[in-house]
């Protein structure tokens, strides 16, 4: 799994993997794949999650709804329920939360010196009886 990386794969063989073969999430630059062999894997062969922050297409939302294959504890994504509660944002941050059956209290405080913070939800899936509490405070 590569998060915010742009791997260059040349003559790579991924065979008999117990999980998904190749997952690339939000590559930062060009992604180069040449002569890749993916066979006999238990999960999906190749998964690419490309994010266009300026897109407004309904199709992109349908694709994101199928992205529940991201495993827990992915390096490179901020876990919403991590122990650290306060985060200083310099430019952008990608936050990830995946539902777990354990009862947890997921609270985060985001600060950015001298800048306003904008939140964009790429995918939100909530139960009907619950609603998120978003607090705008000092």
Look up residue 116 and give its two tokens: 């306003």
CA dist 50 and 24 (Å) reads: 8
Domain spans in the chain, listed from the N-terminal domain onward: 2-111
pLDDT at 22: 82
With a cut of 70, say whether residue 100 has pLDDT above it. no
pLDDT at 93: 72
CA dist 75 and 98 (Å) reads: 14
pLDDT at 88: 86
Q: Work out the average pLDDT over 92-105.
A: 68
pLDDT at 3: 66
pLDDT at 43: 80
Model pLDDT for residues 5-40, shown as the tens digit of each residue:
777 888 888 888 887 778 787 777 788 889 989 898
Model pLDDT for residues 36-93, shown as the tens digit of each residue:
898 988 887 887 776 655 555 555 444 555 555 666 566 666 777 777 888 888 877 7
The whole model's pTM is what? Answer: 0.49
pLDDT at 56: 52
């Amino acid at each position: 799994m590569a998060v915010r990386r742009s791997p260059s794969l040349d003559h790579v063989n991924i065979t008999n993997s117990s999980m998904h073969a190749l997952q690339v999430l939000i590559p930062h630059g060009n992604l180069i794949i040449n002569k890749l062999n993916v066979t006999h894997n238990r999960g999906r062969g190749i998964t690419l999650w490309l994010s266009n922050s300026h897109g407004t297409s309904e199709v992109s939302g349908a694709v994101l709804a199928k992205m529940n294959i991201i495993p827990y504890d992915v390096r490179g994504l901020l876990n919403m329920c991590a122990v650290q509660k306060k985060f200083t944002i310099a430019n952008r941050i990608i936050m990830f939360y995946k539902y777990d059956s354990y009862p947890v209290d997921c609270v985060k405080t985001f600060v950015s010196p001298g800048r306003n913070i904008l939140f964009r939800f790429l995918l939100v899936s909530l139960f009907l009886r619950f609603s998120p509490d978003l607090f705008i405070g000092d």
